[in-house]
Amino acid sequence: MSVSLTRILTHPGGSHKDELLACSLLTAVHRVPIERREPTEADLADPTIAVVDVGGEHAPERHNFDHHQFPADHPPICALSLVLQHLGVYEDARQFCDWLEPAEWFDTRGPNTTAKWLGIGRDALSRLSSPIDITLLRRFAQARLLQPGEPLWEILTYIGQDLLDYLRDLRSRLDFIAQNATFWSLPGSDLKVLFLPRTDPLPDDPSAGIGRYLESIGKSDTVAALVYPDRRGAGYGLTRHNDSPLYDFTRISTQPDVHFAHARGFVAKTSAVDQSRLRELLHLSLFDG
């Protein structure tokens, strides 16, 4: 992205999530106006103008991001996908943003095919519609020019920046977990416990990203519990993973070094720091019924 943008151009008329989010990402990076009109040949040839979801061309070297010229049997991919690819975060977005693939299907295949692909009824999609989505898309469709400092431009930029921050921070977090986590075996079971030790410095939210990490290495279904540093104390948190029925942490609620055990048994907090004691608390928490 050596060329700085002067503006972002997308089509007029009805608005959809793919170009709204694609424009949001580009405004977060380049902080330039968004204009809604049909592009000219000069626009398409100018690498300082990003042409999004219109123009009939995918040429990222000139910041042209349209998908409508792709054949009907092309894998579902939209303008948002193309911008995510350009920014180098598409693979992480596909892996860690569960909403992205359905959004690609919805934009390229329509609601009926998407509902069938998801295995749900067509009416279920309407029931999941949010007034936040409706208002943002309607207001975006009504705009002709959005300038930095205007409320809608700022909101779109927040959306794009938060998405980029999430993807970049999560990748850093997953690398941290990979470097520090170990797996404890459960006697008599193929399941394991993920243990994340205390480090210095300690992340603000020590348990953040553990679930995504397990998904990324294909071990989400083989881990029954997590042990991780307690962000509010010097000890550890113990949590069921994927609501595993193996553990009921109310069973350790009376232990002298356990200061919290949720009444539903899915999480507990302990001041214990010795790994042998943590393993003992896990053993005491095993459900025997």
Contact at 8 Å (CB) between 63 and 53?
no
Who's near 54: CB < 8 A, 6+ residues apart?
9, 10, 11, 38, 39, 66, 68
Q: Where are the domains of the chain?
A: 7-169, 181-285
For residue 7, the cross-strand partners are 49
pLDDT score at 2: 64
pLDDT at 1: 47
Please report the DSSP string for 128-154 in residue order: T--HHHHHHHHHHHH-SEE-TTSHHHH
Query: Tens-of-pLDDT digits for all 289 residues of the chain?
Result: 467 999 999 999 999 999 999 999 999 999 999 999 999 999 999 999 999 999 999 999 999 999 999 999 999 999 999 999 999 999 999 999 999 999 999 999 999 999 999 999 999 988 888 999 999 999 999 999 999 999 999 999 999 999 999 999 998 999 999 999 999 997 777 889 999 999 988 888 888 899 999 999 999 999 999 999 998 889 999 999 999 999 999 999 999 999 999 999 999 999 999 999 999 999 999 887 5
Cα dist from 87 to 82, 84, 91, 163, 168, whole Å: 9, 5, 11, 12, 11
Q: Read off the tokens for 196.
A: 């994340």
Whose tokens are 């598409």? That residue is 90
92 vs 117: CA distance, rounded Å: 22
Per-residue pLDDT at 126: 86
Angle, to 10 degrees, between the axis of helix 79-86 and the axis of helix 17-30? 30
How many beta carbons lie within 10 A of that of residue 249, not counting itself?
A: 27
The class of domain 181-285 in CATH terms is alpha beta
Determine the Cα–Cα distance for residues 241 and 247; give it in Å rounded to an integer: 9
Q: With beta carbons less than 8 A apart as the criterion, state whether 9 and 65 touch.
A: no
